């Protein structure tokens, strides 16, 4: 993972001791800040790792589970993540394989202009 892959608010996992000035949730999951991106660039957040994108995370982000896919409606468009990691919008495939939470957050923002955040029902990620 490189610093230029990160945006403020991306979720990562890491050692709590190294996460000063970050938005820590629990179990080492944190939302990166501008300070965190700078620290990452300087090699000071070496233990920060991407979070694998799993069914649990998709549900936390408010996607609904269907057979072999998860989908979420935003502003009249359906955003779908397939079990294979393929992503599409209104059944138009986008060649993007989402393996990590921060990558999905970035793609979602690029397509919708909105942040992909944890739904209120799932405020405490693990």
In whole angstroms, give the CA distance from residue 10 to residue 106. 8
Q: Do residues 65 and 110 share a domain?
A: yes
In whole angstroms, give the CA distance from residue 22 to residue 95. 32
Residue 65, pLDDT score: 93
Residue 91, pLDDT score: 67
Q: Do residues 35 and 65 share a domain?
A: no
Residue 44, pLDDT score: 66
Residue 1, pLDDT score: 75
Q: Is residue 47 a part of any domain in this protein?
A: no
Q: Is residue 48 a part of any domain in this protein?
A: no
Ranges of beta strands (E only) in the chain are 11-13, 23-24, 29-31, 64-66, 69-74, 77-82, 86-89, 92-97
For residues 28 and 124, the answer to whether their CB atoms sit within 8 Å is: no
Where the chain has pLDDT below 50, the residues are 17, 120-126
Q: Do residues 17 and 64 share a domain?
A: no
For residue 19, give the nearest of 46, 42, 1 by alpha carbon: 46
Residue 33, pLDDT score: 77
Count of structural domains within the chain: 2
Contacts of 22 (CB under 8 A, 6+ apart): 30, 31, 32, 33, 35, 36
Q: Is residue 117 a part of any domain in this protein?
A: yes
Q: Do residues 62 and 86 share a domain?
A: yes
Q: Is residue 46 a part of any domain in this protein?
A: no
Q: Is residue 49 a part of any domain in this protein?
A: no
Residue 2, pLDDT score: 75
For residues 10 and 109, the answer to whether their CB atoms sit within 8 Å is: no
Q: Is residue 31 a part of any domain in this protein?
A: yes
Residue 20, pLDDT score: 53
Q: Is residue 50 a part of any domain in this protein?
A: no
Residue 22, pLDDT score: 52
Q: Do residues 67 and 116 share a domain?
A: yes
State which residues form the domain around 62: 55-122
């Amino acid at each position: 993972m490189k610093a230029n892959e990160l945006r403020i608010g991306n979720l990562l996992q890491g050692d709590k001791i190294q996460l000063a000035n970050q938005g820590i949730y629990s179990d080492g999951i944190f939302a990166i800040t501008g300070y965190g991106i700078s620290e990452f660039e300087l090699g000071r957040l070496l233990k920060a790792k991407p979070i694998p994108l799993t069914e649990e995370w998709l549900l936390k982000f408010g996607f609904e589970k269907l057979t072999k896919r998860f989908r979420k409606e935003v502003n009249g468009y359906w955003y779908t993540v397939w079990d294979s990691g393929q992503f599409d919008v209104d059944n138009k495939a986008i060649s993007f394989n989402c393996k990590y939470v921060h990558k999905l957050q970035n793609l979602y923002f690029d397509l919708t202009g909105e942040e992909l955040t944890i739904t209120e029902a799932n405020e405490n990620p693990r």
